[in-house]
Amino acid sequence: MRRMSLFLTCYVLLAVAKPCAAQSVLPDVINEWSVLASQLAAAPPAMHPLRTPVTLAMLHLAMYDAVNAASGTREAYAVSPSVPRALARGSSAYAAAVAAGHGVLINEFPRHAETLDAKRRMLDGALPDSAEKSNGARLGAKVALKLLALRAHDGRDAVLPAFDPGTGPGAYVPTPPLSQAVDSEFLAYITPFTMNSAAQFRPAGPPRLGSRRYARDYNEVMSFGVKDGSARTAEQTETAMFWQPLAGTVWPATIRRMAAEQSLDLLARAHFEAAAFAAFADSLIACWDAKFHFRFWRPVTAIRAGETDHNENTVAEPSWEPMFDTPNFPEYPSGHACATAAVAHTIEDYFDHDVPIPAHSVRTNTERIYRKASDVVNEVIEARMMIGVHFRTADEDGAAIGRKIARQIRSRFFKRVE
């Protein structure tokens, strides 16, 4: 981990290059590989959905470093290929991105080698054969190998002992109706991409069970997050439904869409998406570190066992059910709030507050547009409580983690120097 930190703290990126018309006729190599990676992650045998953001961050960071090595205008994020300067200057950035993307994904999805090879032939075929193309391919392959070596022992494929649930008031236990096995603790132990450690931004923890704040959170979600007879308005219910799917169904698509709609050139697109996908992955790693450190109970457990919390301002409701089924991992902090804040603020920082932020819900099949990052973050804070799966403090503290990650990315790793 220390070696990773030393790599990261040494690199600061320079300004975004101007769009290049000559590259516009080529396929969008950055998003071609990104979309395919998400598709392969979901294909049988499916990758764990909380493992997928790590693969996407690796992919985008490798493609950025490869494109940058060929363009020669910025510092690397993490790896620089050991090739003669003349070779780097004589390389196609597009071909470098093709090779880097293929190199990372063939390592992550070896069972889909045929699909990946076919995609590489399609992408390569869009560029006429030349020395620059061959040099770019060599360059991209070197970057992929170095990035994979850097992440070789990052814990992403670690197998942990079965989760041992806690006991007593406040302790997380698998939740009804399915009481599924807890299978995502591995995320808490993965080496992050832009943080010194997974615990760098660990929050103070959930409110004490006997506190007024806990009673406030408890009674709020009890009233607004209940499945039947809720205090929600129709508009609040619609918003809760919009944000019910996990963050991974929203933010990768938004990142890709914004890169395409802003007409960025190849280097700028690689730069932006690397920053955003690194923010996405690290927000989840930081959140899961905190989740499995505090192991706090979910509202459905807390409210049904309210008589055990020793708080005179809470009343148990043994038959209470949330609006939607509760995810199978600890409550505090909110993963959705972590990810939303990290990605939305990274987008806002990158584009200098100049562009709206779109989000699409796979549950409602509708789209919402947000004028600024705080608008979408505040909406998610409310929505995840209204669904009945989080206390408000978990949402607010999760959003704070995400903002800190975005701020660090802006200032240390993907800084724009005017």
Q: What are the φ/ψ torsions at residue 254 (nearest 5 degrees)?
A: -65, -45
Distance of CA 9 to the CA centre of its chain: 21
Confidence band, pLDDT 50/70/90 cuts, at residue 415: low
Domain ranges for the chain: 2-150, 185-413
pLDDT at position 17: 34
The chain-wide mean pLDDT, for the chain, equals 91
Q: Average pLDDT, stretch 334-357? A: 94
- The string of DSSP letters for 317-355 reads -TT--BSSPPPSS--SS-HHHHHHHHHHHHHHHHTTT-S
Please state, in angstroms and as integers, the Cα–Cα distance from residue 26 to each residue in 98, 125, 135, following that order.
11, 10, 18
**pLDDT over 80 at 172, yes or no:** yes
pLDDT at position 87: 64
**pLDDT over 70 at 292, yes or no:** yes
Please tell me the distance from the alpha carbon of residue 269 to that of residue 275, in angstroms, as a whole number: 10
Percent of the chain exceeding pLDDT 70 equals 91
Smallest CA-to-CA distance from 336 within 251, 416, 229 is with 251
106-136 pLDDT per residue, tens: 999 999 999 999 999 999 999 999 999 999 9
Q: How many residues are there in the chain?
A: 418
**pLDDT over 70 at 291, yes or no:** yes
- Is residue 267 within 8 A of residue 245, CB to CB? The reply is no
Give me the architecture of the 185-413 domain, per CATH.
Orthogonal Bundle (1.10)
147-163 pLDDT per residue, tens: 999 999 999 999 999 99
Please tell me the distance from the alpha carbon of residue 326 to that of residue 389, in angstroms, as a whole number: 5
| Angle, CA 299 vertex, CA 296 and CA 300 arms, to 5° | 115
pLDDT at position 71: 85
pLDDT at position 360: 98
Q: For residue 249, what are the contacts with CB-CB under 8 A and spacing of at least 6? A: 361, 362
Please tell me the distance from the alpha carbon of residue 95 to that of residue 399, in angstroms, as a whole number: 38
55-107 pLDDT per residue, tens: 999 999 999 999 999 986 777 787 777 666 656 678 999 999 999 999 999 99
pLDDT at position 417: 36
pLDDT at position 19: 36
Please tell me the distance from the alpha carbon of residue 16 to that of residue 90, in angstroms, as a whole number: 21
236-256 pLDDT per residue, tens: 999 999 999 999 999 999 999
For tokens 């009945």, the residue is 388
Lowest model confidence (mean pLDDT) among 11-25, 125-139, 243-257, 380-394: 11-25
Confidence band, pLDDT 50/70/90 cuts, at residue 166: confident
pLDDT at position 10: 33
For the domain bounded by 2-150, which CATH number is listed?
Answer: 1.20.144
185-228 pLDDT per residue, tens: 999 999 999 999 999 999 999 999 999 999 999 999 999 999 99
pLDDT at position 261: 93
Smallest CA-to-CA distance from 38 within 101, 118, 122, 123 is with 101
Q: How many CB atoms lie within 10 A of CB 395?
A: 28
Lowest model confidence (mean pLDDT) among 22-36, 49-63, 154-168, 305-319: 22-36
pLDDT at position 386: 98
- The string of DSSP letters for 6-49 reads HHHHT----PPPPP-GGGTTS--HHHHHHHHHHHHHHSSSPPPT
